[in-house]
């Protein structure tokens, strides 16, 4: 009697491997690597964000223009017509031809990433293509970091924030309970969080109601509106200081027990703030966030220590989110939605239920059919099928793969297709038995002859799966992944595994009971 052979041992090992590594996923235990459920199954928010990088470039141009002004003033160079232009350019005119050499020298040294061109005494300072690209990339990576920091501080389980392609940001947040929470999270992500402390133009503010913004601009002012009321403020356009000098922001309460945000400035900020408040006692200073005035208190005395408060009749949740946004810093460029998919937790649960039902039913149908049609050979094929399922789960768990709804469909489909190999083999064995070959010979030859067909068929399906995986986005990837793993696993379970089981069972197979063993009515002739 033949004892255990290497194929059975291999199959049993694979089965043990499959069961052991799929346990953490099946039991949803805390420890061990396991499959994560996709957002369509557990509910959550998936977003692909674009970034308006032109805004980052515009602000870079603005700061280049500011540097030019500062440098020329410092060097006492007389200039005129300093303008920001389209296409990443700053233009200006010199009045004195003798300054040309000096200007060329200074700009080259002090403002890297730009090229200067000259037409008479008119000059154009243009950002290089490389500098434009660097600014764009910088804006994206800064946005990725900022959004990640914000989501992390919001206290959600395992949000994903990653750069996708060259100019997109992928955000995935699982486990959101309600639509209201989701909206809050989206608003937190989108918040520019651009904080400015601005001096009120006390000389002209009386006329603000009738002033046009062009007129305000001519005074070097800007008109901004109150966040809660339609009241307008006239403020000096160049801020006293901005959010980049902020070190911390926390939610606190004022004396009326209203939520406020207390923030702390860094050393430089505290000094500027202290000097400013010392100089302008009796005047008003506005706290401006994303171009809306939150408060404009009168300065009573010099404020040292760099502690400032924002009050704006917040709700507590609002204050909490705002503090997070302030701590994480401002977004260099605004982000916008290119794609958004959000699934509520109850729909996710429904999706799991439906796909599990389909999987179970499909599985039962296939299993029953195989037994009915092939007898014991069908049972052998079913054992391989179960092994296949466990292997898929185990491999996915080990890779920490994500199981999505299309992924479930992929598994269901694999069940249908994995028995294919066994159908091919069993049909071959039956043919050989009909030809009157012995059981042992029929099995061996059957496996040999079936192998090339199964291999070629599986490789071609695998090609489709790999391409789908490489080119697909989210849901398609999940489908391709489970199918690909399923096909590979079936090569082990359906070919090697069942072959081993037959070799092991061979001594027990009775030639007179072929209808029990292989479901056929012929008698195996010698």
Partner 1 sequence: MEIFKYKAPLSLMSKSKRFGMISITLLVLSFGLIFVKGFNYGLDFAGGTLVQVHYENKAPISKVREAISQKKEYASATVTYFGNENEIIIRTKTSSQSLGKDMGDSMRDLLKGTGEFEVRRVDIVGAKVGSELREKGLMAMFLSILGILIYVSLRFEWRFAIASVMALMHDVTIAMGAVVLFNIEVNLDTLAALLTILGYSLNDTIIVFDRIREGIRTIKEPNLGAIIDESVTQTLSRTTLTSLTTFFVVLTLYLFGGEIIRGFSFTLLVGVVVGTYSSIFVASPILMMLGFSVSDYRLKEAEKAKRSKEKERMRAMYENGTM
Footprint on residues 47-86 left by partner 1 (CB under 8 A): 48-50
**CB 161 → partner 1: shortest distance, Å?**
14
**Which of 6, 373 has the CB closer to partner 1?**
373
Counting Cα atoms < 13 Å in the Cβ hemisphere of 448 gives 7
**CB 163 → partner 1: shortest distance, Å?**
16
Q: What is the DSSP string of 323-360?
A: HHHHHH---SS-EEEEEEEEE-HHHHHHHHHHHHHHHH
Which of 325, 424, 485, 494 forms a contact with partner 1 (CB under 8 A)?
424
Which of 35, 140, 265, 412 forms a contact with partner 1 (CB under 8 A)?
412
Q: x-or-dash pattern for partner 1, window 222-261, by CB under 8 A?
A: ----------------------------------------
Which of 253, 373, 399, 516 forms a contact with partner 1 (CB under 8 A)?
373
**Which of 2, 353 has the CB closer to partner 1?**
353
**CB 474 → partner 1: shortest distance, Å?**
8
User: What residues are paired with 252 via a beta bridge?
Assistant: 260
> What is the 3-state secondary structure of 142-176?
HHHHHHHHHHHHHCCCCCEEEEECCCEEEEEEECC
Q: Does 509 bind partner 1 (CB under 8 A)?
A: no
Question: What six digits make up the tokens of 496?
Answer: 């090697």
**CB 114 → partner 1: shortest distance, Å?**
31
R_g of the chain computed on alpha carbons: 36
Looking at 16-24, 220-228, 318-326, 451-459, which segment touches partner 1 (CB under 8 A)? 451-459
**CB 402 → partner 1: shortest distance, Å?**
16
Site for partner 1 in 386-405 (CB under 8 A): 405
Q: How far apart are CA 10 and CA 12, in angstroms?
A: 6
**Which of 253, 373 has the CB closer to partner 1?**
373
Residue 445, number of CB atoms within 10 A of its CB? 16
**Which of 42, 397 has the CB closer to partner 1?**
42
**Which of 71, 359 has the CB closer to partner 1?**
359
Question: What six digits make up the tokens of 51?
Answer: 């970034």
Backbone angles phi, psi at 401, to 5 degrees: -70, 160
**CB 291 → partner 1: shortest distance, Å?**
15
Alpha helices by DSSP H, 281-343: 316-328
**CB 230 → partner 1: shortest distance, Å?**
20
- Among candidates 428, 301, 302, 392, which has minimal Cα distance to 17? 392
Residue 385, number of CB atoms within 10 A of its CB? 23
Looking at 103-111, 113-121, 257-265, 349-357, which segment touches partner 1 (CB under 8 A)? 349-357
Q: Does 461 bind partner 1 (CB under 8 A)?
A: yes
Question: What six digits make up the tokens of 286?
Answer: 């506005």
**Which of 216, 487 has the CB closer to partner 1?**
487
**Long-range own/partner contacts, residues 78-82 (CB < 8 A, 24 or more apart):** none
Site for partner 1 in 94-123 (CB under 8 A): none
Site for partner 1 in 156-215 (CB under 8 A): 179, 182-183, 186-187, 189-190
Site for partner 1 in 283-342 (CB under 8 A): 335-342
Q: How far apart are CA 136 and CA 127, in angstroms?
A: 12
154 Cβ contact partners less than 8 Å away, ≥ 6 residues apart? 185, 188, 321, 324
């Amino acid at each position: 009697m033949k004892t255990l052979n290497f194929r059975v041992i291999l199959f049993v090992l694979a089965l043990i491997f499959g069961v052991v590594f799929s346990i953490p996923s099946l039991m949803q235990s805390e420890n061990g690597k396991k499959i994560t459920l996709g957002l369509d199954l557990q509910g959550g928010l998936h977003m692909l964000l674009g970034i308006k990088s032109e805004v980052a470039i515009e602000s870079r141009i603005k700061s280049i223009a500011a540097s030019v002004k500062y440098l020329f003033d410092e060097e006492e160079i007389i200039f005129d017509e300093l303008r920001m232009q389209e296409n990443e350019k700053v233009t200006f005119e010199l009045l004195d031809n003798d300054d040309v050499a000096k200007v060329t020298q200074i700009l080259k040294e002090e403002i890297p990433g730009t090229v200067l061109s000259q037409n008479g005494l008119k000059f154009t300072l243009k950002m290089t293509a490389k500098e434009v690209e660097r600014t764009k990339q910088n804006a994206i990576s800064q946005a990725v970091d900022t959004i990640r920091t914000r989501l992390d501080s919001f206290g959600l389980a395992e949000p994903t924030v990653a750069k996708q392609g060259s100019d997109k940001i992928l955000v995935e947040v699982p486990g959101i309970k309600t639509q209201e929470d989701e909206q809050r999270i989206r608003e937190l992500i989108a918040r520019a969080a651009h904080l400015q402390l601005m001096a009120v133009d006390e000389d002209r503010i009386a006329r603000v109601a009738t002033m046009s913004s062009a007129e305000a601009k001519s005074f070097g002012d800007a008109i901004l509106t109150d966040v809660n009321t339609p009241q307008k403020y006239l403020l000096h356009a160049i801020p006293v200081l901005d959010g980049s000098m902020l070190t911390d922001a926390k939610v606190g309460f004022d004396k009326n027990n209203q939520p406020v945000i207390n923030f702390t400035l860094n050393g430089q900020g505290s000094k500027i703030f202290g000097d400013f408040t010392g100089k302008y006692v009796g005047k008003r200073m506005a706290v401006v966030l994303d171009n809306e005035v939150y408060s404009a208190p009168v300065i009573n005395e010099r404020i040292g220590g760099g502690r400032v408060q924002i009050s704006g009749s917040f709700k507590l949740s609002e204050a909490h989110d705002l503090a997070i946004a302030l701590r994480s810093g401002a977004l260099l460029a605004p982000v916008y939605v290119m794609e958004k998919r959000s699934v509520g937790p109850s729909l996710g649960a429904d999706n799991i239920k439906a796909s599990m039902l389909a999987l179970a039913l499909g599985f039962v149908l296939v299993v029953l059919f195989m037994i009915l049609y092939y007898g014991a050979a069908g049972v052998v094929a079913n054992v391989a099928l179960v092994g296949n399922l466990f292997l898929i789960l185990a491999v996915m768990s080990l890779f920490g793969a994500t199981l999505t709804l299309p992924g479930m469909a992929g598994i269901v489909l694999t069940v249908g297709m994995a028995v294919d190999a066994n159908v091919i083999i069993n049909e071959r064995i039956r043919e050989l038995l009909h030809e009157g070959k012995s059981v042992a010979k029929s099995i061996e030859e059957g496996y040999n002859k079936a192998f090339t067909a199964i291999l070629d068929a599986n490789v071609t399906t695998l090609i489709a799966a790999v391409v789908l995986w490489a080119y697909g986005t989210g849901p398609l990837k999940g489908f391709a992944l489970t199918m690909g793993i399923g096909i590979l696993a079936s090569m082990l379970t359906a070919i090697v595994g069942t072959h081993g089981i037959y070799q092991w069972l061979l001594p027990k197979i009775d030639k007179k009971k072929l209808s029990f063993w292989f479901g056929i009515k012929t008698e195996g002739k010698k």
